[in-house]
């Protein structure tokens, strides 16, 4: 058996750990192995002829058009400080209650996760907006930082998010490959909308877990989250709260509702979200020409990064398959003890560990196209698999000592808050996320019921 594909992975990860850019590493290592293989006769130069078609298909993929539109929507809501206004308004309602500020952070973070879908952006924004207030009010540093970290990772699972858009597109291709390999030449389709519907209930269940934990912590450990004193709490202004809450909530409901209702594709709904965010910014008179330029620059940088990585991953996947890597993975999974469950457990463990060193974009474009077709050919539901991967990555980004969310928050945390406090704070939330994974494994219908009801 040729173990060249394994050597490709080893060299790629070594280069990534050395600090080389992800997109250039993926494409460069693949082309280097292809060149050596052509010179030694181990790789067919004809396989590289498929590269232009793959790259053209990537650039013309209508589903991926949703990426820059969703990024624009999220960045616009962040830059215009609409989310900050929402946090202040809800805080005025709940700060007088024990744990009210933490509940506010979870609710606002959930809305931000649904609008941005980028872990780093949500964690940093929530850290800058809410952490100083929570510490000033007397919250334990571990509780405050843990709540913000966990809330920031909700962007992996709550639709509409960029992570689910990319994962849904990759799983759609993997599902078709799996059916073709099984001799099904009229394959069924799975869409980004299916994954949105499948992730909605697990995401809301996780938010409920978070809220119940905060409420329970307030009851049994009240000293960890004191209520604001009457003279410190801001005056309640119901009109301001309503005007701050309604517009972003209506925007998210319109985007997600149009997808789940079947009235718009994810790409069309992303266009509605982008235009809606711009209209809100103009209506609140918070969008200037300079700010619009900053939003467009940020959107362009993020979109270019995503597509650059996707191109590098496409080249890597092409060379990997040219060396028979997919057959190698298929053979390993077939001979693995435990059958489908054993293979699924190994893949989940590998993805969890890779989440320490790779972002969700790299894992989605590199790992899922390789293991996805094999797992789906073994009878795993594609929506269930996608939700499991999203929750697994969310847990990985939160787990000490290498979780991405921990590093993002550490960058905006005051020096007097030790890193160990952040680590302690996220432990209960990791337990809750592992609990959600257990629930999904025991009852796959939590992820598959809503897509079946909506799309049949």
DSSP string covering 304-373: HHHHHHHHHHHHHHHHHHHTTHHHHHHHHHHTSTTHHHHHHHHHHHHHHHHTTTS-HHHHHHHTHHHHHH
Helices 66-79 and 119-137 meet at what angle, rounded to 10? 20
Length of the chain counted residue by residue: 456
Report how far residue 313's alpha carbon sits from residue 325's, in angstroms, rounded to the nearest whole number. Answer: 14
Q: Which residue has the tokens 């030790």?
A: 418
Token pair of 246 as six digits: 């309604």
Report how far residue 157's alpha carbon sits from residue 204's, in angstroms, rounded to the nearest whole number. Answer: 9
User: Domain for residue 17, yes or no?
Assistant: no
User: Domain for residue 163, yes or no?
Assistant: yes
DSSP3 helix / strand / coil % (the chain, rounded to 5):
80, 0, 20
Report how far residue 70's alpha carbon sits from residue 313's, in angstroms, rounded to the nearest whole number. Answer: 22
> Smallest Cα–Cα separation from 97: which of 275, 272, 236, 266?
236
pLDDT for the residue 129: 79
pTM for the whole structure: 0.84
Report how far residue 15's alpha carbon sits from residue 21's, in angstroms, rounded to the nearest whole number. Answer: 9
pLDDT for the residue 32: 93
Q: Which residue has the tokens 């972003």?
A: 248
User: Domain for residue 15, yes or no?
Assistant: no
φ and ψ of 140, to 5 deg: -60, 135
Domain count across the chain: 1
User: Domain for residue 238, yes or no?
Assistant: yes
User: Domain for residue 40, yes or no?
Assistant: no
Contact, 369 vs 321, CB < 8 A? Answer: no
Number of other CB atoms surrounding residue 212 within 10 Å: 11
Distances (CA, A) of 41 to 6, 45, 323, 340, 382: 18, 9, 11, 35, 37
Domain span at 209: 47-312+324-455
Token pair of 58 as six digits: 């990537």
User: Domain for residue 10, yes or no?
Assistant: no
User: Domain for residue 390, yes or no?
Assistant: yes
Please report, in tens digits, the pLDDT of each residue of the chain (456 residues total). Answer: 567 888 888 888 888 878 788 888 888 999 999 999 888 888 888 888 888 887 888 788 887 888 888 888 878 877 777 767 777 777 777 767 788 888 888 888 887 776 665 666 678 777 887 888 888 888 899 999 999 989 888 878 888 878 888 888 889 888 888 888 777 777 787 888 889 899 999 999 999 999 999 999 988 888 888 776 655 555 666 776 677 777 777 887 888 888 888 788 888 888 988 898 888 888 877 778 888 899 899 889 888 888 888 888 888 888 888 888 877 887 887 777 877 888 899 889 888 888 877 778 778 888 888 888 888 888 889 999 999 999 998 888 888 877 778 888 888 888 888 888 889 999 999 999 999 999 999 999 999 999 888 876
User: Domain for residue 302, yes or no?
Assistant: yes
């Amino acid at each position: 058996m040729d173990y060249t594909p394994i050597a490709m992975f080893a060299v790629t990860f070594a280069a990534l750990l050395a600090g080389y850019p992800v997109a250039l590493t993926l494409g460069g290592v693949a082309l280097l192995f292809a060149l050596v293989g052509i010179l030694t006769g181990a790789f067919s130069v004809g396989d590289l002829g498929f590269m232009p078609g793959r790259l053209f298909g990537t650039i013309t993929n209508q589903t991926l058009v949703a990426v820059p539109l969703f990024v624009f929507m999220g960045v616009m809501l962040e830059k215009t400080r609409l989310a900050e206004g929402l946090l202040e308004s809800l805080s005025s309602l709940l700060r007088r209650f024990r744990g009210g500020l933490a509940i506010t952070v979870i609710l606002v973070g959930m809305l931000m996760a649904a609008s941005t879908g980028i872990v780093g952006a949500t964690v940093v924004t929530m850290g800058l907006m809410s952490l100083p207030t929570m510490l000033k009010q007397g919250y334990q540093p571990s509780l405050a930082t843990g709540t913000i970290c966990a809330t920031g990772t909700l962007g992996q699972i709550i639709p509409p998010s960029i992570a689910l858009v990319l994962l849904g597109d990759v799983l759609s291709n993997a599902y078709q490959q799996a059916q073709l390999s099984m001799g099904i030449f009229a394959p069924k389709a799975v869409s980004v909308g299916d994954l949105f519907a499948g992730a909605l209930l697990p995401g809301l269940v996780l938010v409920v877990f978070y809220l119940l934990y905060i409420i329970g912590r307030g009851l049994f450990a009240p000293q960890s989250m004191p209520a604001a004193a009457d003279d410190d709490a801001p005056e309640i202004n119901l009109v301001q709260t309503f005007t701050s809450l309604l517009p972003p909530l209506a925007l998210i409901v319109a985007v997600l509702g149009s997808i789940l209702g079947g009235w718009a594709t994810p790409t069309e709904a992303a266009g509605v979200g982008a235009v809606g965010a711009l209209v809100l910014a103009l209506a609140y008179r918070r969008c200037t020409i300079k700010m619009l330029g900053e939003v467009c620059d940020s959107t362009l940088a993020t979109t270019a990064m995503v597509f650059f990585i996707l191109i590098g991953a496409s080249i890597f996947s092409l060379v990997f398959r040219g060396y028979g890597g997919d057959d190698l993975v298929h053979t390993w999974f077939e001979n693995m003890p435990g059958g489908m469950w054993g293979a699924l457990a190994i893949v989940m463990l590998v993805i969890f560990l890779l989440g320490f060193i790779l972002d969700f974009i790299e894992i989605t474009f590199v790992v899922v196209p390789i293991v996805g077709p094999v797992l789906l050919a073994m009878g795993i539901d594609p929506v269930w698999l996608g939700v499991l991967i999203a929750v697994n990555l969310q847990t990985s980004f939160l787990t000490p000592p290498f979780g991405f969310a921990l590093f993002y928050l550490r960058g905006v945390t005051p020096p007097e808050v030790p890193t160990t406090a952040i680590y302690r704070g996220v432990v209960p939330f990791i337990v809750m996320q592992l609990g959600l994974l257990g629930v999904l494994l025991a009852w796959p219908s939590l992820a598959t019921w809503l897509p079946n009801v909506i799309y049949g």
